[in-house]
Chains A and B, each alone.
Chain A
């Protein structure tokens, strides 16, 4: 075992990379849940985004077009969920599970021809002086654009929910859909838009895994990150900045356990690999005492006749 092989600067830099897919998926789901909808299909949308982004990048040669395609694919899949829960008024838990099961199958089917290929790389940010700085350079100025996009998106979602009229309407719909309906807001329209946004975010998060984090395609490669993103929203008490904090925390744990695996710690690999899931459970237990942040209409169907 050689712990000195772990470079703290690289650790922080790779922590940010590991956290980004979680952050993207969780910030999307946060908006969905703030509108009063519980979409358990994050894992399915992420993996679909992962293969859609990967396939389009390989075919077009441009990772940016790929990321865009991943957003479209995630949103398209989430539209199925929106249709089921908002128009057909199906149970949200069951519909979300259906989305995940379907997405896992669909991605495996789409990804058959793409195993073992390397996708085109995304250029990293390279600012002449800043990126070459020791310590600060690789941590702050040496990443791919999507990572910065994730941070910007977090800020944008925060500002949207806090300062804009649209954000207020979205929160009203999530807290009390009957009151929002009585005020003349279209509950269904707001929720469908939120679901589509969440789907697009999850899709981009998935593409980040297959295009940048790993980067290659393997079946089921999201390995529960979508579910951890769901737990992260609970952890964050439905607040955007806390999602960021949580994502970096989980990213850190994951990177650390991978580093420990590589450094040859005396703990068997399998037990290190289960640590992110166990820590998620632990965090859920700690956070579940406080449910005050949860939108009051979360998970309830809305139909104007009721």
Chain B
């Protein structure tokens, strides 16, 4: 009979290595899934994880790693702050959409100006849009004690409807021959977020790097970061130590909303190019997996974000070359989180074999 014995402290070594194990187990389970779909599992895994980095056309795919990784890392960093303190913002997808809408709207209002102030203005508006959208659940939580999980999630659906309304109405390209979607911002010199498109460099990548560094400093060197960690690990102790839960909720939700909004703005002004109905592709939800896979640690999130970006790119290649359905990658990403959570058992508990009846 197997019994579990709680470790006095979570094992640090296992805590760092379980994500790696989880990835390996997911590759095996994913391989079985691909085999069940009638694809060669080894070829599929190689196409997803190897070809984008070292394959024949890697020069084309490597920049994509930055393009897809930046929003994931940016959003996940924000989410991880709240998750650490037990504040669950799962509506990042909505905040991402609102950041894109507000940022794009601020820019498009001044079209076709070529002023250098356009892009900074859009960045501000994007951050503000995401921040406001996240402040709704935050304020409701601190004022009325409303569950932030459900409110932030409901607001995703509201944001999606707003996006549809905007791309068919207010923000529709007046010279677009009636097609839905805004003007192409990526082709507008003063407003696009590209730094070097050939290398996949845009301002979102820079912002993601800054966010990783800032989050690291915050969590390790600043009293606010300490309070966040303390609240997550011992809520009562945090209250006795004088941590103000209201301020913490406002800060964590606000910051994560702001970062998600920024991610949306950089995406709409660069890789995506325009506000359109299907502009969002679920980065806000995948970022939840990224945050957990990265152990809610800034450096871990950076690595996890790149890995997730790889599965997106590899999934695209596998779809076009092997006919692997796009949703198979979604299943793959979901499995990863499952295995990670299951393997976490080993971090917190010792598994022992015991004779029945000895206890």
- A-side binding surface: helix, strand, loop or mixed? helix
- How far apart are the CA atoms of A146 and B299 in the complex, in Å? 51
A277 & B331 in contact (Cβ 8 Å cutoff): no
Given contacts A270-B164, A284-B150, contact A109 B145 (CB under 8 A): no
A102 & B342 in contact (Cβ 8 Å cutoff): no
B6 & A273 in contact (Cβ 8 Å cutoff): no
B4 & A305 in contact (Cβ 8 Å cutoff): yes
A227 & B154 in contact (Cβ 8 Å cutoff): yes
- How far apart are the CA atoms of A104 and B149 in the complex, in Å? 18
**Is residue A117 within 8 Å, beta carbon to beta carbon, of the partner chain?**
no
A270 & B162 in contact (Cβ 8 Å cutoff): yes
Nearest residue (CB) in B for A87 is B345
Q: List residues of chain B with CB within 8 A of the CB of A90.
A: 341-342, 344-345
B147-180 contacts to A (CB < 8 Å)? 147, 149-151, 153-158, 161-162, 164-165, 168-169
- Closest Cβ–Cβ distance, residue A25 to chain B (whole Å): 14
- How far apart are the CA atoms of A234 and B148 in the complex, in Å? 13
- How far apart are the CA atoms of A306 and B156 in the complex, in Å? 38
**Is residue B285 within 8 Å, beta carbon to beta carbon, of the partner chain?**
yes
Q: Mark A263-277, 1 if CB is under 8 A from B, else 0.
A: 000001011011001
- Closest Cβ–Cβ distance, residue A3 to chain B (whole Å): 23
B341 & A98 in contact (Cβ 8 Å cutoff): yes
- B-side binding surface: helix, strand, loop or mixed? helix
- How far apart are the CA atoms of A95 and B342 in the complex, in Å? 9
Segment touching B, from A53-61, A62-70, A238-246, A285-293: A285-293
- How far apart are the CA atoms of A259 and B169 in the complex, in Å? 22
A91 & B341 in contact (Cβ 8 Å cutoff): yes
Nearest residue (CB) in B for A223 is B157
Among B144, B158, B328, B341, point to the contact of A277 (Cβ < 8 A): B158
- How far apart are the CA atoms of A178 and B63 in the complex, in Å? 54
**Is residue A40 within 8 Å, beta carbon to beta carbon, of the partner chain?**
yes
Given contacts A95-B341, A277-B155, contact A101 B145 (CB under 8 A): no
B331 & A106 in contact (Cβ 8 Å cutoff): yes
**Is residue B337 within 8 Å, beta carbon to beta carbon, of the partner chain?**
yes
Q: List residues of chain B with CB within 8 A of the CB of A98.
A: 289, 334, 337-338, 341
Q: List residues of chain A with CB within 8 A of the CB of B158.
A: 274, 277-278
A101 & B285 in contact (Cβ 8 Å cutoff): yes
- How far apart are the CA atoms of A40 and B153 in the complex, in Å? 11
Q: Which 10 A-B pairs have the closest CB atoms?
A: A105-B330, A102-B334, A108-B327, A270-B165, A105-B331, A90-B341, A274-B161, A88-B345, A98-B337, A288-B146
Residues in B lying within 8 Å of A, measured CB to CB: 4-6, 88, 90, 136, 140, 144-147, 149-151, 153-158, 161-162, 164-165, 168-169, 285, 288-289, 292, 325-335, 337-338, 341-342, 344-345, 348-349
